[in-house]
Chains A and B, each alone.
Chain A
Amino acid sequence: MKIKTWLTGLAAATVLIGGSAWADKTILNVSYDPTRELYQEFNAAFTKHWEEKAREKVAIKQSHGGSGKQARSVIDGLEADVVTLALANDIDAIAEKAKLLPDGWQKRLAHNSTPYTSTIVLLVRKGNPKNIKDWNDLARPGVSVITPNPKTSGGARWNYLAAWEYGKRTYGDDAQAKEFVTKLYKNVPVLDSGARGSTTTFVERGIGDVFISWENEAFLAIRELGPNKFEIIAPSISILAEPSVAVIDKVVDKKGTCQVAEAYLQHLYSEQGQEIAARNFYRPANARVAAKYANQFPSIKLFRIDDAFGGWKNAHKLHFADGGTFDQIYQK
């Protein structure tokens, strides 16, 4: 008879069901790892803007993770109204594998659908104890390097390509570049799945001498954890990282959120959106806002992926697809 009492108790527990906050429309922004703080601020601004403009309450949900992993989730059915990922190639994968948006998506918004850019810098511990000045120092024996896994993280792919291009320009050709990158990755003790995981590894767990990082992520780590712990080293050359954004057509058509989703991405290009991006250490696309915040960023010679690698499709096939150069060097 006691058993009956337990059963009723458990049945009563099942009645607990959660409700959600009320809004006219809900959109989901599936993003990559380091944009958490950016979109927290931007979402609040856009919600207010949209209420004034369209008299509609919009709730914006966020999901963050390694860029490649997030794209995989959208392909597998995560219903993102918009994606704001670390690189165009991940959105290409969604267009290609799941046909959720057309192939020409990158032409739909200004600046190749890239409202803000960033680059890759080196974050070292205060005082730079291993005397790291440029990419070649990362391949030195005895230097421990932290970078995420290029298979799952977009940032890690930018890191990899930046190092590769440095190797190619410094030592002459692709074969030399491969040798350099191989040496560099021999110094990597752990590959996290996303940029934020790597930041935690370097910053919180204290592993590694140098962290190859998104510029914005490096600034954020310094802002959050104190300027007396880390410093940013600007390498002689780095890659112009272009994180792309897109509306996922099939999802917004089904949910009837097309208008608000498009306005959401457009607002990233507005003065307000650009200011928020700059305040979160992304390099704004808008020239006026960029000029205003120019002092904030170190000046680094930047190259574009289109010029150095012939675009993401080629770079992906050569370096990150199964059997690509990353697989070759990391298996050894």
Chain B
Amino acid sequence: MTVIALPVSSLAHRARPTEEPVWVRWTLIGLALAFLTLFLFVPLISVFYEALKKGWAVYIAAITEPDAVSAIQLTLTAAAIAVPLNLIFGIAAAWAIAKFEFLGKNLLTTFIDLPFSVSPVVSGLIYVLVFGLQGWLGPWLAEHDIKVIFAVPGIVLATIFVTVPFIARELIPLMQSQGTEEEEAAVVLGARGWQILFRVTLPNVKWGLLYGTILCNARAMGEFGAVSVVSGHIRGSTNTLPLHVEILYNEYNFAAAFAVASLLAMLALVTLALKTLIESKNMQNDKGKNR
């Protein structure tokens, strides 16, 4: 039996030369899954497990306590200011870079990437150096009683800085690959600047735009390093959600720390779900176009 079986299986194997043997495939898949389980699923589940370990009452109390509410509000405020601004800037920058030729284009692209390459701590310190009491603008600001760092404006500024590249970076390659033919056609047909933007350019990149916005929002809400430097850690006024998690953890308040962390984890999960949804829509769209 086995003598006959062997050539059959090797024949079947030869029939599909691009495929690896079964054991190789399963080992690779197994390794990938084990890795994901160990480094992604287990920590994620443990966040929710720790958060709910002491029951729902503790969980609800932890996220409705005044300092937590203020942290949630501050995080939402910072994201609500940073994301729209970056949306406008991202579209403008991507449009300029992808559709036009101008002097200093490479320089602009490099600057957009800067927040990706600079450590968040450094970007926070930049604001301290500029707006701090001993910094360039500090004495003038103090004289006019304008608070920037160690207050909400500083946190918003730091958040904007670290999230600048997300939308622009998402749109630039997309817009470049689409070229300028459709816009040229629109011009020939008599469309004006804004009409071209809203009727031609943006609808073509809408999924990429939405995807970039979601990523930008996730980072805006989750940012720790830069915000930590400019926050001053005043409870109930300049603590964002990630900073609040750190404080609770350091105060032996583990259940509450994980409860608040679970809010951030849920944000990540929602982001992931939206991203998957958008990608599948995107693929359907592409298929629709090709047909």
Contacts and interface: CB of A to CB of B under 8 A. Distances in A.
A10 B83 contact: yes
A79 to B, nearest CB: 7
A77 B149 contact: yes
If over half of A's interface residues share one DSSP class (helix, strand or loop), that class is named, otherwise mixed; here it is: helix
B202 interface: yes
A151 interface: no
B250 A200 contact: yes
Interface stretch (B31-39, B92-100, B127-135, B188-196): B127-135
Interface string B112-139: 0000000000000000100111110010
B233 A14 contact: no
Contact of A76 (B73, B84, B128): B128
Contact of A97 (B66, B134, B142, B210): B134
A20 B134 contact: no
A107 interface: no
Given A79-B150, A200-B250, A73 B232 contact: yes
Nearest to B238: A63
Contacts of A224: 252
Contact of B81 (A3, A14, A79): A14
Given A3-B198, A3-B203, A64-B233, A77 B133 contact: yes
B236 A61 contact: yes
Contacts of B142: 77
Contacts of B163: none
Name the interface size band of chain A. Answer: 35 or more
Residue from the set A17, A73, A200 with the largest chain B CB neighbour count within 10 Å? A73
B234 A28 contact: yes
B159 interface: no
Nearest to A65: B233
B252 A63 contact: no
B275 interface: no
Given A77-B132, A196-B250, A18 B235 contact: no
Nearest to B66: A21
Closest 10 CB pairs of A and B: A18-B73, A77-B133, A76-B132, A14-B80, A224-B252, A78-B150, A78-B232, A63-B233, A196-B250, A13-B80
25 contacts: A2-B203, A3-B198, A7-B87, A13-B80, A14-B81, A14-B84, A16-B73, A16-B77, A18-B69, A18-B74, A21-B66, A36-B251, A61-B234, A61-B235, A62-B234, A73-B232, A75-B134, A76-B135, A76-B138, A78-B150, A79-B150, A97-B134, A197-B250, A224-B252, A225-B252
